[in-house]
Amino acid sequence: MTLQLNIKRSLTGVIAIAMLFSLAACRNSSQSGATSGSSSTSSSEQSDQKRAATLLKKAQKQIENGQTTSALTTLKKAQELDSSNDKVSKLLANVQNYLDAKDALNDGDTSSANESLAKMTSEQTNGDALTSQAKDLSTKAAQLKEANRWYQNAYDAVSNGYYETAKADLAKLNALPSSVRGIKNLQNQGKSLTSQINAASSSTTTAQSSNSSSSSTSSSTTSQTTGGLTDEQTDQVITSFTGTVGITNQSGLSFGVTQLGTNYYQVEVRQNNSSNTVGSLTGIYRYNTQTGSYTKLNTITGKYEK
Residue 300 has pLDDT above 50, yes or no: yes
Three-state DSSP class for residue 208: helix
Residue 125 has pLDDT above 80, yes or no: no
Average pLDDT over residues 40-48: 79
**Which of 279, 213, 285 minimizes the C-alpha distance to 247?**
285
0.85 exceeded by pTM:
no
Angle in degrees, CA 148, 149, 150, rounded to 5 = 95
Provide CB contacts within 8 A for 138, sequence distance 6+: 114, 117
Residue 175 has pLDDT above 50, yes or no: yes
Residue 185 has pLDDT above 60, yes or no: yes
Average pLDDT over residues 38-60: 83
In whole angstroms, give the CA distance from residue 170 to residue 147. 9
- 181 versus 299: the higher-pLDDT residue is 181
CA 261 to chain centre: 31
When computed from its CA atoms, the radius of gyration of the chain, rounded to whole angstroms, is 43
Query: For 177, which DSSP code?
Result: -
In whole angstroms, give the CA distance from residue 118 to residue 25. 64
| pLDDT value of position 96 | 93
In whole angstroms, give the CA distance from residue 223 to residue 274. 18
| pLDDT value of position 166 | 84
In whole angstroms, give the CA distance from residue 139 to residue 110. 11
- 252 versus 55: the higher-pLDDT residue is 55
- The overall average pLDDT reported for the chain is 77
**Which of 263, 157, 150 minimizes the C-alpha distance to 201?**
157
* Cβ atoms of residues 52 and 78 within 8 Å: yes
Average pLDDT over residues 241-258: 81
Strand positions, DSSP E, 99-248: 222-226
Number of DSSP helices (H) and strands (E) in the chain, helices first: 8, 6
For the ranges 86-90, 207-211, 215-219, 258-262, the lowest mean pLDDT is seen at 215-219
